Amino acid sequence: MKTRIGIYGYGNLGRGVESAIRQNDDMELVAVFTRRDPSTLKINTEGVPVLHTDDAPGMADRIDVMILCGGSATDLPVQTPALAKYFNVIDSFDNHSKIPDHFDRVNAAAKESGKVALISVGWDPGMFSLNRLLGNCILPDGRDYTFWGKGVSQGHSDAIRRIEGVADAKQYTIPVESALEAVRAGKNPELTTREKHTRECFVVAKEGADLARIENEIKTMPAYFADYDTTVHFISAEELRRDHSEIPHGGFVIRSGKTGLDLSHSHIIEYSLKLDSNPEFTSSVIVAYARAAHRLAREGQSGCKTVFDVPPAYLSPKSGEELRRTML
């Protein structure tokens, strides 16, 4: 039996989910939903209909899991609870401080409809969260470190683009290698924001723009750049397209802890990701958890859940017997 998937929103993430479904024989794309005029949207999968989001509820009995591919700022807070009335849903809500509130609203909707909702699935939140949790449980006397990058931060790139005189921009978040090495060596350093990451910006200026002013506005921008060592490079639109069109990302979750009667033994648990495409990797995580959502729903479960609540075997199409024989 295949898991029948709907994609709700067709940006980078939606396209990533579409291609990830092709890599999983037990998953089937049923429809893509868009707020645009469906006739204007060309997707990559032959024979799969593009429908308007208004028509989603009518597809409730033909979709096992609806994957929400909108943004966390304004789309998902509305869409996830709304769609959970009709579907098992999964989203990648990534505004960490608002997760508890989002959870409560989605949980209320999913409990009422009897559906399963998985929120905040991806790599952070997602796989990184899972590793923070495991590290804390295994080594209760220890410290957590999360580093991001090297990778493109969409939010920081957007912030630069809003500066007057900027035509386009791409911002890379880069972990500070010496900080990483100190953590790996078990030194448990106290690290300031500036000591953990640097920021590198590639900016295309409009003709005649004041480059010194743009650079200064970037480097002094509160919250986004002021607390970091920031480098600004002005390049041509052609260079930006040629050298910075991909969306790589990644990072490191490290748990450094001690054990023993006198806590004399140190241990380092490190989980790292090096991703050519942030949206495609996030999509791949989501599709694996969509399989789990379907299985939880078939068991009769309901309500909102996160990666913390899902038995790992549920992510796999293989039987428990096969998993124990081949991967344990």
Cα–Cα distance measured from residue 114 to residue 91, given in angstroms and rounded to the nearest whole number: 17
Query: What string marks each residue from 210 to 249 as x (binds its own copies by CB under 8 A) or -?
Result: ----------------------------------------
Out of 47, 222, 260, 300, point to the residue binding its own copies (CB under 8 A).
Answer: 260
CB of 9 to its own copies, least distance (A): 18
Out of 183, 281, 295, 297, point to the residue binding its own copies (CB under 8 A).
Answer: 281
Q: Indicate the SS3 state at residue 87.
A: coil
Question: For residue 117, what are the β-bridge partners?
Answer: 89, 304
Out of 136, 188, 231, 301, point to the residue binding its own copies (CB under 8 A).
Answer: 136
Stretch that binds its own copies, among 33-41, 120-128, 214-222, 230-238 (CB under 8 A): 120-128
Q: How many CB atoms lie within 10 A of CB 134?
A: 15
- Which amino acid is located at 241 in the chain? R
Q: Which of left, alpha, beta for 47 (phi over 0: left; psi -120 to 50: alpha)?
A: left
Nearer to its own copies, 24 or 231 (CB): 24
Nearer to its own copies, 123 or 228 (CB): 123
Cα–Cα distance measured from residue 78 to residue 56, given in angstroms and rounded to the nearest whole number: 15
Q: Indicate the SS3 state at residue 148.
A: strand
Stretch that binds its own copies, among 18-26, 34-42, 165-173, 234-242 (CB under 8 A): 18-26
- DSSP of 175-224: E-HHHHHHHHTT------HHHHEEEEEEEEEPTT--HHHHHHHHHT-TTT
Q: Which residues of the chain form contacts with its own copies (CB under 8 A)?
A: 16, 19-20, 22-24, 44, 96, 99-100, 103, 120, 125, 127, 129-134, 136-141, 184, 259-261, 264-277, 280-281, 283-285, 288, 291, 306-313, 315-316, 320-321, 323-325, 327-328
